[in-house]
Amino acid sequence: MNSVDLMLLSISIPFITAILILLFGNTRIAGVYSREWLSIVSSVALLLTVLPLLEHFMQGAIIEQRLIEPLPGVWLHLSIEPLGMMFAAIASLLWVVNTVYSIGYMRGNNEKNQTRFYVCFAIAIGCTLGLAFSANLFTLFIFYEVLSISTYPLVAHKGNELAKKGARTYLAILMGSSIGFLLLAIIWTWSLAGTVDFRAGGILSEHIGQPVIGILLFLFIYGIGKAALMPLHRWLPAAMVAPTPVSALLHAVAVVKAGVFTVMKVIIYIFSPAVLSDSLAADWIMYLAGISIVLASTIALFQDNLKRRLAYSTISQLSYVTIAAILVAPFSLMAAALHIAAHAFGKITLFFAAGAIYTATHKTEISQLKGIGRQMPWTMGAFTIGALSMIGIPPAAGFLSKWYLLLGSFQAQEWFVFVVIIISTMLNAAYFLPILYTAFIEKADDQISFAGIQEAPLAIVIALTTTALLTLLLFFIPDVPLQLINQIPGVKP
């Protein structure tokens, strides 16, 4: 099979899976629901499609395909570049792990509407692959919007009033920002440049001056609500009403990664690092991202609910990517791309652990977890690795991206960024280490007892230990991601 066919197949597999689950998901095969078999088989099939596609790309293959032309000169157009290839590889790998986890979680908690859950999950993965392989802003926008719509039922999954309210906030912010700002920015870009294609060196350099750069940059950055730059961050804590596999999807596999991925695509291929490095218009984004990093980390300190603390941690960590990308120094662009991978593996591990705790104990608050590390050592051991990665302590992968970001701040001579990273690292430690102390050192009191509590179902434990190992593996063997990252325009001086 040639490279183009592999690319088209990789996007098609999740959508075909969604249709099959919708039709046959409630039937049983050997006592197991078809939705589970189909999800497992399809996720593995996607990974086995993306891996040879990655090999072809690494060997220098040019992979692109125009599909249809809905507007004159504007195509639904797919192509693969280094950042998109890395994003697709991460998403396809984590779909396998998240599917295993989802089966254990949905069974363990007797969740309702499981067929709808797996259908929407598959559609979200398909949109993620389509977004990763988008060759222009028009194609990216289509998949970006369908991703928002397909994840709305997942956020509202529990069906109670709290879930519905959280889902409404989620969809209102994401679609309101994309239609109000991002779509306007895309149309304006097309009117200025006559194209919306992603191109090395950007497409706006010869068409705009300083005032327009600032306005367009504002529209793009705040139009990409999935990047959760404050104050467009409220959808993330609101979405924590969803089941934990959905939280993992939102934070690690698809939604927030789609946000920061889009930020990087716009900076590199629409504006270009050269244009932004010579402009003062990007400075305000750097300061806003820095404020988001520190403020979100500070808010996380005061959250007793484990998933809400992780949500505010994600808001902070996403702004690492934004601030690194906007610096446009070679090392900072490398840090931005590497942090997408490091955060994906580390944060999915943390959410997997939170879900495991809920499944085994039905506890959701950090203050309720005294001594749980002795009863659930695999879960809390994995949580520890994820937490170390978010703090930036070796040998976890988060250390690498923070190291390159510090180097990037030196390259760009931006001491504000350097100070922000140091302060945020201390705040990361301040809100993660007490969780570990509570779990491993403190003893359960009379009101909270974990006697008889064991690990969550095996599928959950397998999934969270796998992602914890991936977090360590990325630190020791970062070769493939770094090879891809080094091909991104602007990374090499």
pLDDT, residue 9, reads 96
Q: 359, 464, 362, 454: which is closest to 106 by C-alpha? A: 359
Lowest mean pLDDT among 4-18, 41-55, 190-204: 190-204
**Confidence band, pLDDT 50/70/90 cuts, at residue 396:** very high
Is the pLDDT at 168 greater than 80? The verdict is yes
- The torsion angles phi and psi of 29, rounded to 5 degrees, stand at -125, 115
pLDDT, residue 158, reads 82
Indicate the pairing of strand 64-71 with strand 28-29. unpaired
pLDDT, residue 380, reads 93
pLDDT, tens digit, for every residue of 287-346? Answer: 999 999 999 999 999 999 998 999 999 999 999 999 998 888 888 888 999 999 999 999
Let me know if 176 is exposed, middle or buried by CB neighbors in 10 A (0-12, 13-18, 19+). Answer: middle
User: What would the mean pLDDT of 135-161 be, rounded to a whole number?
Assistant: 92
Q: How far apart are CA 149 and CA 47, in angstroms?
A: 24
Is the pLDDT at 425 greater than 70? The verdict is yes
User: What would the mean pLDDT of 205-225 be, rounded to a whole number?
Assistant: 84
Is the pLDDT at 281 greater than 60? The verdict is yes
In DSSP terms, which residues pair with 378 in a beta bridge? none
In angstroms, what CA-CA distances link 277 with 30, 66, 129, 267, 271?
60, 32, 30, 11, 10
Q: Which residue has the higher pLDDT, 492 or 433?
A: 433
Neighbours of 400 (CB within 10 A): 24
pLDDT, tens digit, for every residue of 327-343? Answer: 888 888 889 999 999 99
Helix, strand, coil shares of the chain, percent, nearest 5, are 75, 5, 20
pLDDT, residue 451, reads 60
Q: What residue type is 316 in one-letter code?
A: S
Quick one: CA dihedral 413, 416, 421, 422, positive or negative?
Answer: positive
- The torsion angles phi and psi of 197, rounded to 5 degrees, stand at -70, 145
Contact indicator for 294, 278 with CB cutoff of 8 Å: no
Which pTM value belongs to this model? 0.92
The domain segmentation of the chain, as residue ranges, is 296-493
Is the pLDDT at 446 greater than 80? The verdict is no
pLDDT, tens digit, for every residue of 372-389? Answer: 888 889 999 999 999 999
Please provide the DSSP assignment of 375-438 as one string: H-HHHHHHHHHHHHHHHT-TTSTHHHHHHHHHHHHHHHT-HHHHHHHHHHHHHHHHHHHHHHHH
Q: Which residue has the higher pLDDT, 175 or 72?
A: 175
State the chain's mean pLDDT as an integer. Answer: 89
CA 152 to chain centre: 16
pLDDT, residue 445, reads 67
User: What would the mean pLDDT of 179-197 be, rounded to a whole number?
Assistant: 92
Q: How far apart are CA 476 and CA 473, in angstroms?
A: 5
pLDDT, residue 448, reads 61
pLDDT, residue 449, reads 59
pLDDT, residue 493, reads 56
Lowest mean pLDDT among 197-211, 298-312, 335-349, 474-488: 197-211
